[in-house]
C-alpha cells in the first residue's frame, strides 16, 4: 500500500493506465476505486466499486467537486493498492 499525498502524485500513479486505489473510511472500511488519468486530455476516469458506477472525463475541479478523492488525499486517507 502506498499513501497518496497529492493530486500530482495521483496523476503520476495512474497516468495513462488504470490503477486500483482505496479510501480508508471510519472503522477501517475501504472504498475501492479504479482510476486512470489521461495525460492528453488532463482528465480522470473513476470506477467506484462500492456501487458499480463510472465517472468519466473529470478534470481537477470536477474530481474535487464530484468525488471525495481529493478530500481523502487531503485527510491522508487515500492509498494505492
Spatial separation of the C-alpha atoms in residues 53 and 42, rounded to whole Å: 21
CB atoms within 10 A of CB 74: 13
Model's pTM, two decimal places?
0.92
Q: What is the pLDDT of residues 6-20, one digit of tens each?
A: 999 999 999 989 999
pLDDT score of 28: 84
Q: Is the separation of the CB atoms in 4 and 21 below 8 Å?
A: yes
Q: What is the pLDDT of residues 17-67, one digit of tens each?
A: 999 999 999 888 899 999 999 999 999 999 999 999 999 999 999 999 999
Spatial separation of the C-alpha atoms in residues 37 and 8, rounded to whole Å: 11
Helix, strand or coil, per DSSP, at residue 40: coil
Identify which of 8, 2, 5, 38 has the alpha carbon closest to the alpha carbon of residue 20.
Answer: 2
Amino acid at each position: 500500500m502506498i499513501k497518496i499525498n497529492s493530486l500530482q502524485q495521483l496523476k503520476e500513479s495512474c497516468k495513462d493506465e488504470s490503477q486500483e486505489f482505496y479510501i480508508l473510511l471510519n472503522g477501517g472500511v475501504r472504498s475501492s476505486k479504479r482510476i486512470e488519468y489521461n495525460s492528453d486530455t488532463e482528465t480522470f476516469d473513476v470506477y467506484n466499486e462500492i456501487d458499480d458506477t463510472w465517472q468519466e472525463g473529470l478534470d481537477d475541479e470536477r474530481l474535487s467537486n464530484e468525488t471525495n478523492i481529493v478530500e481523502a488525499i487531503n485527510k491522508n486517507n487515500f492509498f494505492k493498492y
